Amino acid sequence: MFEVNPFSEVSTFAPPVFMQTYLVVMVVFVAGGTLYDILHKGSAKYFFQNWRTEKKRGVRTVGTGETLSLVARSIVVDAAMSGEFCNLRRRLAHLFTMYGFLIYVVTTTIMVFVYAENSSITPVILPILWYLGSLFVCFGGYWFWFFIRADVAAEGNSSFRVMHADLFILALLVSVTLGLVWGCAQAAGASWSNVVFILYLIATAVLFGTIPWSKFSHMFFKPAAAIQKRVADAGGSRSNLPPPADKPEIFGRTRRLPRHY
């Protein structure tokens, strides 16, 4: 069941070029949506202006070698290990979702463009990784949605309370969940698998087509922002906000630092 390329079975009612064209359109959605987000919100302009401001505030010059070292550290700690999350549960949920999504996207691309026409030559590891990546996304995403979100865990709101900022995670979960259901239904020979496949395509189009209004493009900005912060700290420049004290006092009373969910 999990050793069969699910996209090769699509060729029974649609040519392989259909899914290949569909994936190209999704890439265009990502590129166009991210570019629109940058131009509309001025994210890149703000980023470079802030970088120049922090550089002028610095008390020392950060050399090329040190900068490269900071970039490497940012890639390993902030990007690869999600070091910006203080809460261990949130970091783990993010890592499951992030790496699951990467595995899911890479295996989908390979199976559609290389092995869609002939399932028999598809390496067994690819569909297994596709299902595994999908399960990782669902595990991390649903864990975050129902148990870790700040307004749910800290404020006691309903898990079904939806806000604009939730567009990306919801669209991702719906898309990947429908993909899992479709893959299993197709492997089991269910007559309704084609209906789920159509819903899967629609949900995926919503995921990538709503980038200008979701947080999808943040995955491109966060590593750059982390690098900027490390370089600014190394140069001795001040951040926009003063660093928090270990034991801040209010009216002579020590208060506890808030938890980061």
**For the CA atoms of the chain, what is the radius of gyration?**
22
Interval 189-217: pLDDT, tens: 888 999 999 999 999 999 999 988 887 76
pTM (2 d.p.): 0.79
Q: Is 73 part of any domain?
A: yes
Beta bridge partners of 137: none
Q: pLDDT, tens digit, for every residue of 8-17?
A: 878 777 888 9
Whether 125 has a pLDDT exceeding 90, the answer reads: yes
Assign 148 a pLDDT band (cuts: 50, 70, 90). Answer: confident
Enumerate residues 6+ apart whose C-beta is below 8 A from 218. Answer: none
Nearest to 176 by CA among 254, 88, 74, 97: 97
- The CATH code of the domain that includes 20 is 1.20.950
pLDDT score for 150: 67
User: Is residue 248 domain-resident?
Assistant: no
State the amino acid at position 241 in one-letter form: L
Q: For the chain, what's the residue count?
A: 261
Highest mean pLDDT among 38-47, 115-124, 178-187, 208-217: 178-187
* Average pLDDT value for residue range 60-86: 79
Q: Mean pLDDT over residues 129-148, rounded? A: 94
Q: Could you write out the three-class secondary structure of 13-55?
A: CCCHHHHHHHHHHHHHHHHHHHHHHHHHHCHHHHHHHHHHHHH
Q: Show the tokens assigned to 17.
A: 């070029």
**Residue 242, domain member (yes or no):** no
Average the pLDDT over each of 138-142, 145-149, 237-241 and give the range with the smallest value: 237-241
In a domain, 252, yes or no: no
What was the pLDDT predicted at 154?
A: 57
Cα 139-144-146 angle, rounded to 5 deg:
95
Report pLDDT for 251.
Answer: 43
Domain count, the chain: 1
In a domain, 243, yes or no: no
Provide the token pair at 8. 């090769």
Structural domain including 174 reads 8-232
Structural domain contains residue 250: no
Whether 196 is covered by a domain: the verdict is yes
Here the tokens at position 15 are 């040519």
Q: The tokens of 220 are what?
A: 């491109």
Is 223 inside a domain boundary? yes
Residue 253 has pLDDT above 50, yes or no: no
